[in-house]
Amino acid sequence: MTTVLSVASECAPLVKTGGLADVAGALPSALAGHGTEMRTLLPGYPAVMAALEEPVAIIQREKNLFGGPARLLHGIAGGLEVYVLDAPHLFEREGAIYLGPDGKDWPDNPERFAALSWMAATIATDGAAGWEPQVLHLHDWQAALTPIYLRQLGSADRVATLLTIHNIAFQGLTDAKRLKALKLPASGFTADGFEYYGKISALKAGLVYADKLSTVSPSYAIELMTPEFGMGLDGVLRSRRADMTGILNGIDLEAWQPPFKTLRAKAKLTKSLRQEMGLPDAGGPLCVVVSRLTSQKGLDILLEALPRLLAEGGQLALLGSGDAELEKAFQEADARHSGVAVKIGYDEALSHRFIAGGDAILVPSRFEPCGLTQLYGLRHGTLPVVSLTGGLADTVVPANAAGIWAGVATGIQVHPITTDAWEHALGQLCAIYRQHDIWNRMQKNAMRHPVGWEVSAAAYAALFKDIEKAA
């Protein structure tokens, strides 16, 4: 049995801003059948403290942890076995977990997550009421100082570390003046260490000092090593090439259980979605999008390619919110075209009706570490049309000549990520839609594709076993 402490700044269902929370929330139970016991260390945000059942204090001794007293609690929260860093001066506050009421990062975010990392290293060094992790699974910059603290506490030879990158855009940059306040060694503040253009980079500390690195898809693992995707850290990542792995995220199969048993029953849901959104049936596929509206998601490209879909009898239903300009552009498209319906907002229930009722789901992202909506689409026989990048490249079997000949295609991949290529792909989608045999075959292939955690949990378990150090 490998014991693993997952160190996460968010964890579904307790606190969530993105995919990191889903991974942190899903992995412990997914790993249970794979010889891995994973417990989770979380910050004591109000939502976590409120959810904690039967807490027991196990480390009381921190009188001054980055500016105030702290203790470590152990209990159950959100169905997980958790350790909670109860440090009111850092975590007991209203507002979002990373942002203050003014919408800006909390100024003491570096200290808040340094404290989380310090506690992770302390548990690794001293154990937690008899439980000793052999591996620390660190998520993003918020946990990335841990390998340095492990060295300082003298346990880096004993306890292994895996740093998983969910989003390289967030790097935890801090002014160099805070070196001492963050308990960081001046000797590490170099280009080979955690210095990044004159600042402290928490993420870079993890990229340099963790034993192994991973990200959330094999393709993104390679893309991160290029200047186009590496956001300034591609050189560091290239130097760690041998230690980098990509493991895909899974989805919650219960939450995303299709509400139909047969494709005929699915067709009824398509019909009601058309009615709900006021979209006609003009002989083409009903395409759906569920997405944040940001430049990353490439929806401006889709907007330009859209006339091709409409000309071939297809429709678009979009659910999303984000950049004001994109919201406006899609609302204008809705007003101009009878084949376009746009709902601005975040609506979990409607997202399920979109995914279940759509014929195809469009994901035109410029980059996508893993992506979840294409996985929901596969499970519902809602064929994904995706940009060929990151996790989108790894989860869709393209309907190119070879894929169709072999009878294995599950969707369409678009490359390069341009308007021209997207126009072509939407034309191809409509052509395949008219060939019922091929379309049905693709739907069946898609619905068989494994999109849960089983495969990835086995991959994480093997990685943990591999890096575990002899005590």
Q: Which residues bind ligand ADP (CB under 6 A)?
A: 18-19, 290-292, 319-321, 346-348, 351, 370-373
Minimum distance from CB of 358 to ligand ADP (Å)?
A: 12
Pairing of strands 199-201, 135-139: unpaired
Q: Which residues pair with 40 in a beta bridge?
A: 6, 82
Residue whose CB is less far from ligand ADP, 361 or 430: 361
Question: Do 49 and 84 touch, CB atoms closer than 8 A?
Answer: yes
Phi, psi of 316 (to 5 degrees): -125, 130
Tokens at residue 424, please?
């072509």
**Shortest Å distance, C-beta 352 to ligand ADP:** 9
SS3 50: helix
Q: Find the shortest distance in angstroms from Cβ 167 to ligand ADP.
A: 8
Q: Which is nearer to ligand ADP, 370 or 457 (CB)?
A: 370
At 265 the three-state DSSP class reads helix
- Two tokens, residue 280: 């006609």
Distances (CA, A) of 257 to 252, 274, 293, 346, 377: 8, 21, 26, 20, 11
Tokens of 223: 């893309």
Q: Find out whether the peptide bond into 258 is cis, omega within 30 degrees of 0.
A: no
Question: Residue 117 or 351: which CB sits closer to ligand ADP?
Answer: 351
The two most distant CA atoms of the chain are separated, in Å, by: 70
Using the minimum distance from each CB to ligand ADP, give the nearer residue, 360 or 370: 370
| Distance of closest approach, residue 53 Cβ to ligand ADP, in angstroms | 27
CA 15, 460, 449: angle at the middle one, nearest 5? 85
Q: Quote the least distance from Cβ 259 to ligand ADP, whole Å.
A: 16
215 versus 351: smaller Cβ distance to ligand ADP: 351
Distance in Å, CB of 168 to ligand ADP, minimum: 12
The residue among 121 and 363 lying less far from ligand ADP, judged by its C-beta, is 363
Residues 6+ apart with CB under 8 A from 92: 44, 45, 46, 49
Q: How far is the CB of 447 from ligand ADP (least distance, A)?
A: 18
Q: Of 118, 172, 187, which is closest to residue 150 (Cα–Cα)? A: 118
d(CA 352, CA 264): 18
Q: How far is the CB of 453 from ligand ADP (least distance, A)?
A: 15
* CB nearer to ligand ADP: pick between 117 and 410: 410
Please say which residue, 372 or 421, places its beta carbon nearer to ligand ADP: 372
Rounded distance between C-alpha atoms, residue 43 and residue 37, angstroms? 20
